[in-house]
A and B are shown apart, each in its own frame.
Chain A
Amino acid sequence: MTYRVHVRVMPRTGLLDPQGQAVEHALTALGFEEAGSVRVGRAIELDVDAGSRDEAEARARQMCDKLLANPVTEDYLLKVEDE
């Protein structure tokens, strides 16, 4: 069974996010003054062959811990979908 895994990697809350700040400034400059607390992260999608949804999620979590996210600076969210 193939599962589609969506990973959302975000800079850890509380860490300076200069990209988010720059995007926020640009939005304000464009007149979107209602925008605030902008943060910029990264989205990764991948197929995972696994025997079950739980197994797919467990493997994806290992991939995040080992490579896809930096545990010092980033947090991640996983979503697993049936293909």
Chain B
Amino acid sequence: MPRVAVVRFPGSNCDFDTLRAVEQYGGEAYFVWHRDTDLNRADIVILPGGFSYGDYLRAGAIARFSPIMQAVQRHAAEGGPLLGVCNGFQILCEAHLLPGALLRNAGLTFVSKPVDVTVEQVDTAFTCDYEPGARLRLPVAHGEGRYIASPDTLRMLEAEGRVVLRYVAATERSPFQPNPNGSTNHIAGICNAAGNIVGIMPHPERAIDRLLGMTGGAGFFTSPISSYEDSSNPRVSTNEAG
């Protein structure tokens, strides 16, 4: 059973949902506090959603300097699976573990609703249980989810197949629907070149139970857990994507 660390920052609010999702799919989940300096032998690390440090300055900007982040960076550098959801994605961008940035939604309002996304890259630690091109319905809940990056970075992400989730194509009549935030190229999630670091805006931990209406998020938890169970070496191989 893989050990899954869920990192809590002051202001994290999806921490219990994430813990429960990991347990539901057979991981040994536990919390790690942002002031800790050790991940306590984690095989998989998840930065959950929320409003770390009240989103002061910029979302994720202060959390990235939390003491635990050095251990998180070491874990990722060794190839360990690392998922950032929503505020966790923002933290990964601020920490330069993923390229680009997440800005205020184009519509300026906080958006909380289900959206449809396609899984564009299944060669990652957190999406390998999905079929390529699978369409998922997942909830989003964020005020700052408009992904942007330099033109060079965007070209690289697209060329290397590092867009993991994309909001289903917009229609001419409503360019930001169903893209909820105006993100560039309708990007909802990306990964690093090795595929062990994934950041996504939608909340898979809120889509794992028929009672809540959506179950499409399960793969984000089963993928790293089954990969761990399948292999005596829990680390993801570093084959280059694309």
Contacts and interface: CB of A to CB of B under 8 A. Distances in A.
A71 to B, nearest CB: 9
Interface residues of A, number: 11
Interface centre among A16, A18, A67, A72 (most CB of B within 10 A): A72
Contacts of B100: 72
A15 interface: yes
Given A70-B61, A72-B100, A16 B108 contact: no
A68 interface: yes
B61 A67 contact: yes
Interface of B is mostly: loop
B148 A67 contact: no
Interface of A is mostly: mixed
B57 A16 contact: no
Contact of A73 (B57, B65, B101): B101
B106 A67 contact: no
A16 B99 CA distance: 18
A22 B109 CA distance: 11
A68 B58 CA distance: 9
Interface of B: 57-58, 61-62, 65, 93-94, 99-101, 103-108, 146, 148-150, 182
